A = this chain, B = another copy of it.
């Protein structure tokens, strides 16, 4: 009897079928949901148009091939893509182009950064610190804004100085006789470091250096310093090197720069606020805050990034969780198939809160972006009109915006990094394949927790503002405005009245109130500790960071609820309400349960109920919507760029195909195979030891005749 084993013992898995079933049961219009996510129908359609152009573009489209690129290939391709993008810049407005490249951030982050260093940081520095004419000359007359003639880099950070910008040590010393500044790197610690584009691309740098005039140090100001001539050769006195391998974003040529007595004309100094005359008279800015406004746009972009990156990874993880079966549920019948991952309560609890959080990110990012551009425009107008009242009002708005954006940048980037890794882990072993997309996402994203304001330092500075403001409210009876307005009620909130009962959990407005109360009580406690510790702010650093996180959630939840109240598409409200409930229950209340319980904002019974009943029920309620909710992000397969996350849900065949395309199986031996075979087929130890360790050798060598 010969057994016929070519008959399959079981039918192959059919994940594709599963995702279709989910889509057939969609209970809302995903196009309308996308309007909610993008902020409006117009934006939603613009995004669709941009994506279509880019996913068909032979150079710009992302593909699984990238996951096998070497660093050299990443660098080369990124440069090629910048050249391709330069064709788009010439045909659309700067605002449109900015929105276009904000999409690139999610499918090609290194491209976004490498061109962003030039357009965002270099030109942003010109705009923020240069006079109107200086901006016009460098950005427009030289066609820099079209990536032409000049490629700029942003030379702020030094090897021994990052966050403390005021402590930078590069010097710009005024030489009155020659009417020049001499730019110099005094020692290794002052080497400009991490400078994106410096290694091979940049022709000019916006250099942050200490202004020294007549021996006096006026602090850190900005200067345009040419690095390479029009033949792309390094100028004299300029030493540049490649920083080399990084955790991620290999396509960016970060470099280091040392200046050895490099001379620039006086008019290369950016002088919107600070001016040095030919006689060496120095005029300082009316208000330091003004020159920091350039930092704002980076934060705004990063909150949007948090939304897009989280939407990408949760889409992959959700599609995989619907297609993948594993074990049988505890309640399964004998003939049932294995259960889908998404039907396990634990899996729901890992993924659906991330989905809810991503929805909160979307609108939070939109609100922050709108507030920010409005404030900056008003301030720019006031400065142009020399309208002092307008400037003062603008500075107040800026302060509030700095608090909001600081807490959001730090909190949202931390959460997104966590989301990426949680989604990876939820895909089990396959999440570890590069082609799944998580590894590169984590490595590329990780830096967002550090750059443009280290998250802990930002968090502390936000927390400090909270404590300072509550101190003013409580001790001096001052009223606050903007994002901290709720502090005005602090007196009545302090204490130990429980705010939230199990019945309140279904009302996210009530949770929002609980967040306010938690912030007030924790800020007040921090203030008490601070007073007991002689105003040693460092001592309460950890508390300040926690406060900043809570404030970010206050902003996100409030924006979310306000938006839900206002949207015209009322049919979306039921599912959005569940998302808001789950976000507030899991990410906020459960995530900070220690604080809510310690300050008696919620009772232990409420937390028990939250964990055992409320969150599981919300997950069950949202379970049927997970595929429509992720489809509503409208990320094309090119943007998803994952073996596990394609729209068709055909996880195994897609994955198998990508693996075979990138690693053709007919290459069945390694290039070094001969050496490995030699290892396995090596002669015996005795033979390799030339039989020197043997009875015969012993006899001869031991004999002393």
Contacts and interface: CB of A to CB of B under 8 A. Distances in A.
A300 B261 CA distance: 59
Interface stretch (A29-37, A48-56, A342-350, A629-637): A342-350
Interface of A is mostly: mixed
Given A82-B679, A200-B676, A428-B163, A9 B171 contact: yes
A344 B428 contact: no
B460 A242 contact: no
Given A169-B9, A244-B663, A676-B83, A160 B460 contact: no
A164 B244 contact: no
A436 to B, nearest CB: 8
Contacts of A663: 199, 241-244
A283 interface: no
Contacts of A438: 247
Interface stretch (A397-405, A504-512, A530-538): A530-538
A663 B250 CA distance: 14
A80 B667 contact: no
Interface stretch (A20-28, A386-394, A559-567, A680-688): A680-688
A604 B601 CA distance: 11
A582 to B, nearest CB: 14
A645 interface: no
A277 interface: no
Contacts of A82: 676, 679
A540 B613 CA distance: 10
Interface stretch (A126-134, A324-332, A476-484, A570-578): A324-332
Interface stretch (A100-108, A143-151, A268-276, A370-378): A143-151
Nearest to A597: B597
B331 A433 contact: no
A465 interface: no
A210 B443 CA distance: 39
A665 interface: yes
A189 B599 CA distance: 52
A200 B669 contact: yes
A177 B10 contact: no
Contacts of A443: 439, 443
Interface string A586-600: 000010011001111
A246 B171 contact: no
A283 to B, nearest CB: 20
Nearest to A67: B245
Name which of A79, A149, A329 has the most chain B CB atoms within 10 A of its CB. A79
A334 interface: no
A78 B43 CA distance: 50
B434 A247 contact: yes
Interface stretch (A354-362, A485-493, A649-657): A649-657
Contacts of A685: 90
Contact of A245 (B163, B232, B338, B662): B662
A329 to B, nearest CB: 6
Contacts of A682: 86, 148
A112 to B, nearest CB: 16
A194 interface: yes
A116 interface: no
Contacts of A187: 8, 10-12
A178 B542 CA distance: 71
Nearest to A7: B186
A194 B655 CA distance: 12
Contact of A246 (B162, B217, B433): B433
Contacts of A616: 539
Interface stretch (A68-76, A285-293, A304-312, A695-703): A68-76
A36 B560 CA distance: 53
A284 interface: no
Contacts of A456: 346, 350, 425
Contacts of A667: 242
Contacts of A639: none
A13 B608 contact: no
A191 interface: yes
B244 A83 contact: no
A431 B450 contact: yes
Interface string A142-175: 0000011111000001011111100101010111
A93 interface: no
A3 interface: yes
Contacts of A80: 672, 675
A572 to B, nearest CB: 29
A587 to B, nearest CB: 13
A704 interface: no
Interface string A417-446: 100010011001101111100110011001
Given A182-B5, A593-B598, A594-B593, A330 B537 contact: yes
B173 A3 contact: yes
Nearest to A331: B536
Interface string A534-552: 1111111111110000000
Given A5-B171, A86-B679, A652 B188 contact: yes
A537 to B, nearest CB: 4
Nearest to A253: B670
A656 B439 contact: no
Contact of A349 (B76, B421, B541): B541
A163 B597 contact: no
Name which of A243, A608, A668 has the most chain B CB atoms within 10 A of its CB. A668
A671 interface: yes
Contacts of A240: 665, 668
Name which of A178, A344, A443, A670 has the most chain B CB atoms within 10 A of its CB. A670
A581 B72 CA distance: 49
B680 A542 contact: no
A694 interface: no
Given A234-B668, A424-B446, A439-B443, A538 B331 contact: yes
A68 B433 contact: no
A79 to B, nearest CB: 5
Given A83-B676, A241-B660, A247-B438, 8 more contacts: A1-B177, A5-B182, A8-B186, A13-B160, A199-B663, A232-B669, A330-B537, A597-B607
27 contacts: A1-B175, A1-B176, A5-B173, A8-B186, A9-B210, A76-B670, A79-B676, A80-B672, A83-B676, A83-B679, A147-B679, A163-B428, A200-B668, A200-B670, A232-B673, A232-B677, A245-B435, A247-B432, A344-B538, A345-B540, A425-B449, A428-B450, A429-B451, A529-B612, A542-B611, A594-B594, A597-B607
